[in-house]
Amino acid sequence: MRLYFDYNATTPPAPEVVDAMVAASRDAFGNPSSVHHDGQRAKASLDAARSAVAGLIGAESSEVVFTSGGTEADNLALRGAAAVAAEADRRHVIAAAFEHEAVLNTVKALARAGFATTVLPLDATGILSPDCLRDALTAETAVVSVMHANNEVGTIQPIAELCAIAHERGAVFHTDAVQSAGKIPVDVRALGVDLASFSAHKLYGPKGVGALWIRRGVRLAPVLTGGRQERNRRPGTENVPGIVGFGVAADLAAARLEHEGARVAALRNRLEEGVLARVPGTDVNGARGRRVPNTTNISFAGVEAESLLIALDLEGIAVSTGSACSSGTLEPSHVLKAMGLSSHRAQSSIRFSLGVSNTERDVDRLLDVLPAVVERLRSLAPALP
Ligand SMILES: Cc1ncc(COP(=O)(O)O)c(C=O)c1O
């Protein structure tokens, strides 16, 4: 049996999600914009899903805009808020260095469109310091984007504090909450943010569906042109089955958040302590006290992480590297680099992210297999520092 420790990449849809999506595809096939019965039936399914997603994040239904995923939600947040702010001559965008590419590449696109941009450094534990943000803000800052929980190391940012600082200077604050929703409580009002991105497939929902929460009163220019769906903010006929699946996943996440969080944290700690005890030359990356419960990122000195990933895959165990492989070149993770790790350490780091199917037996099997695999790789590449 294969073991899956890559829940931050994606999660398997819950059986209840799949059932609801099948039923919605069959029974709620109408166009939600149609006035007849079939259209209104689909519209009712959308409304139910919207209120479930709103319930998970402490929002009102009318503030939730469905998108094609976290990437589109990030794009809509940054591009939409920047376009509105530019009308008032605010043309400066700030993001943290450890943001997902959906944010970082959008910031680059805004730079090409004439915005000034600042990418803020992190401290060694992967936390963005409030003083660092304070120093970067200007009267021209339009939008600040700082993710809630990081996908690679799991660190949780002091969003409420950062947001208050940005608001003092009149900037709109966006947080990418794709990796925190479903893992820790996310209350958008308590965080104080203006915009927050979510993705269904990170919380046992389907791929290709997400949401942007837009605080009531915040103005945003749509990124796509088209019809009047989603209160004129996101045109296009809604993905009804996908959104229904997202709603069911949100309800499940809300119901099992507390219990599952504690269960997974215990497993993650067992895994982490087991690795540190059994495999010499290992270190945990990122603040251990301020992380989502399911994630640990561990460096294995002298081991090339891609090779470890492949060796574990051959043993039937799925993990992830902190590195992105682009056009045949192994780039060290921008997150680990932003935390000040050397390229070597960044390239020897593995992310283990746990979820609903994992048990103590899974962790123990991993711990049985890992030391010998690491030792073998080290013996093959003794020159790596
Ligand atoms: C933090 C973060 N933001 C955004 C995304 C993109 O979400 P999606 O895959 O739904 O486009 C991801 C997914 O990897 C993510 O981890």
Residue-wise pLDDT for 161-206, tens only, equals: 999 999 999 999 999 999 999 999 999 999 999 999 999 999 999 9
Same structural domain for residues 281 and 324? yes
Q: State if residue 210 touches ligand 1 by the CB under 6 angstroms criterion.
A: yes
pLDDT at 383: 53
Q: Give the H or E element holding residue 111.
A: helix 101-112
Return the percentage of the chain with pLDDT > 90, whole number.
94
pLDDT at 23: 98
pLDDT greater than 90 at residue 331: no
Q: State if residue 171 touches ligand 1 by the CB under 6 angstroms criterion.
A: no
pLDDT at 339: 92
Assess if residue 114 is contained within a domain.
yes
**Are residues 130 and 95 in contact, defined by beta-carbon separation less than 8 angstroms?**
no
Same structural domain for residues 288 and 243? no
Same structural domain for residues 348 and 372? yes
- Ligand 1 centroid to Cα of residue 37, in Å, is 35
Same structural domain for residues 157 and 191? yes
59-80: pLDDT as tens digits: 999 999 999 999 999 999 999 9
Give residue 372's domain range: 3-9+257-380
Assess if residue 49 is contained within a domain.
yes
136-171: pLDDT as tens digits: 999 999 999 999 999 999 999 999 999 999 999 999
**Are residues 336 and 351 in contact, defined by beta-carbon separation less than 8 angstroms?**
no
Identify the band that residue 327 occupies on the pLDDT scale cut at 50, 70 and 90: very low
Assess if residue 385 is contained within a domain.
no
Assess if residue 354 is contained within a domain.
yes
Assess if residue 138 is contained within a domain.
yes
pLDDT greater than 90 at residue 324: no
pLDDT at 1: 87
Kind of pairing between the strands at 92-96 and 141-145: parallel
Q: State if residue 206 touches ligand 1 by the CB under 6 angstroms criterion.
A: no
Q: State if residue 245 touches ligand 1 by the CB under 6 angstroms criterion.
A: no
pLDDT at 24: 98
Pick left, alpha or beta for residue 63 (phi over 0 → left; psi -120 to 50 → alpha; otherwise beta).
Answer: alpha
Same structural domain for residues 199 and 261? no
Same structural domain for residues 335 and 361? yes
Beta strand spans in the chain (E): 3-4, 64-67, 92-96, 116-120, 141-145, 172-176, 195-199, 210-214, 282-284, 295-300, 317-318, 320-321, 324-326, 329-331, 349-353
Q: Give the H or E element holding residue 191.
A: helix 188-191
Same structural domain for residues 247 and 321? no
pLDDT at 328: 46
For range 302-317, the mean pLDDT: 96
What is the residue with the minimal CA distance to atom 5 of ligand 1?
70
| Total domains, the chain | 2
When the pLDDT of each residue in the chain is averaged and rounded to a whole number, the result is: 95
Assess if residue 126 is contained within a domain.
yes
Among residues 252, 286, 317, the one where a domain terminates is 252
Among residues 214, 231, 252, the one where a domain terminates is 252
Distance CA 109, CA 125 (A): 29
Identify the band that residue 25 occupies on the pLDDT scale cut at 50, 70 and 90: very high
255-282: pLDDT as tens digits: 999 999 999 999 999 999 999 999 999 9
For range 8-34, the mean pLDDT: 97
Same structural domain for residues 86 and 172? yes
pLDDT at 384: 52
**Are residues 304 and 378 in contact, defined by beta-carbon separation less than 8 angstroms?**
no
Among residues 252, 280, 300, the one where a domain terminates is 252
Same structural domain for residues 55 and 152? yes
Catalytic residues: 325
Q: What is the CATH number of the domain that holds 318?
A: 3.90.1150.10
Tokens encoding 91: 């043309």
Token pair 């120093």: residue: 135
pLDDT at 284: 97
Please state at what angle helix 305-314 crosses helix 360-380, rounded to 10 degrees: 130
Distance CA 25, CA 42 (A): 10
Same structural domain for residues 317 and 345? yes
Return the percentage of the chain with pLDDT > 70, whole number.
97
- Locate the ligand 1 atom nearest the alpha carbon of residue 200 and give its number: 10
Count of CB atoms situated within 10 Å of the CB of 243? 30
pLDDT at 326: 41
